Amino acid sequence: MCYDHAMMKLGVIGCGQMGRALLGGILRACVVREADVYLFNRTPEACSQIVREFPSVHVCGSIREMAALADMVILSVKPAGVCSALAELASAEGKKPCVLSIAAGVTLATMQSCAPELRMVRAMPNTPALVGMGASSFCGGSLATQDDLAAARRLLEAVGIAVELPEEKIHAVIGVAGSAPAYMFTILDAMADAGVSLGLTRGDALKLATQTMLGSARLVQESGRHPMELRDAVTSPGGTTIAALNAMDAHNLRYAVIAGVREAARKSEEMSRGQS
């Protein structure tokens, strides 16, 4: 189907943290009108936080009710609840909405086996989406149209960036982006600890380290230069930066990061096989 984004009617099944974050970004970016949003949660009270912030959204009494109203439905439930939600969507009479699933670890094949007639897009956002700085990948099922994929991209870009990739790449995405906020938090904590050991307060050390990480990432994004080129630009012969880098190399920092990313991807693939 062809979407008029200003008129798209959006459903959200599951009003947990990531569902709320994605919907909040979508509404604040004016991608969908507040009055064109329909919520469903097994525990209706879970929708109350969204309704307080966006009072014109609608709370549905059932998934089947939502299916009759929405053009696209964000599925934001735990993996164990995916099949039952899809089956309810598929059982609704009339037109069927496209499903944008952000359920972790549930493959398109698994979802298609639960509801073969539904159009589906699978997405993998990460937690910085909570502050509008997420990095998501997405891929379409066999029935998804180009309009479905364009609509999914527009929704995901409301909370960061979105990259369309084949589903088999999702394990690599989890290693590089999905699990990666934890790596960044660990590095920030280590830098703050080092600052404290050198006489800074923890608050000052963490503030400085956090801003440095933000600024360095922005510099890579906006300059278009390779990270190693930017690193070389601030590494003077015989100076403090090369001394620090040499010390980190001695402790295999680079290889530890690569090993961690690869292990996250391996574990994701293992868990995905368990879901099949």
Binding site, annotated residues for NADP(+): 13-18
What is the Cα–Cα distance from 223 to 238, expressed in whole angstroms? 26
Helix, strand, coil percentages in the chain from 3-state DSSP, rounded to 5: 60, 15, 30
Q: Which residues are annotated as a binding site?
A: 13-18
Alpha helices in the chain (DSSP H): 17-28, 48-53, 63-67, 82-91, 108-114, 146-156, 170-173, 180-197, 202-223, 227-233, 240-250, 253-275
Beta-bridged to residue 72, according to DSSP, are 10, 98
Rounded to 5°, the CA angle 72-77-79 comes to: 115
Residue 102, φ and ψ in degrees, nearest 5: -115, 20
